[in-house]
């Protein structure tokens, strides 16, 4: 995992909680309201963090599936090219055989 992105998210979450606490204490709320506001900001930040984590996981699975599909398409293309070449050579041999029979 790319931990740098998650560290940045965690730091932003901490800044969010600290700024909320400073704002609430400056508005002269009591301790219970301050803790409730802090918990609310922690839960909001946690939700944002989880959404970010899930989006990253979906991106990784999409890139893996895209890579798998690309490999399968390349494999199918090579098989089709081989079949095409084999059919063309078979048709060429049949045409040569008919040409030999016609000239006899």
Contact 38, 20 (CB under 8 A): yes
- The percentage of the chain sitting over the pLDDT mark of 90, rounded to a whole number, equals 36
CB 32 within 8 A of CB 53: no
Q: Return the domain boundaries, the chain.
A: 3-103
Point out the residues of the chain with pLDDT beneath 50: none
Provide the whole-model pTM: 0.60
Interval 73-102: pLDDT, tens: 999 999 999 999 999 999 999 988 888 877
Note the pLDDT of residue 75.
96
CA-to-CA distance for 70 and 84, rounded, in angstroms? 21
């Amino acid at each position: 995992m790319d931990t740098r992105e998650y560290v940045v998210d965690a730091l932003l979450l901490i800044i969010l909680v600290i700024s909320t606490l400073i704002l609430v204490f400056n508005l002269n709320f009591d301790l219970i309201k301050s803790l409730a506001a802090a918990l609310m900001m922690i839960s909001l930040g946690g939700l944002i963090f989880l959404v970010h984590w899930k989006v990253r996981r979906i991106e990784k699975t999409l890139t893996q599936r895209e890579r798998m599909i690309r490999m399968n398409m390349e494999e199918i293309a090579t098989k089709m090219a081989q079949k095409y070449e084999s059919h063309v050579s078979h048709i060429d041999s049949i045409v040569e055989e008919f040409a030999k029979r016609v000239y006899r």
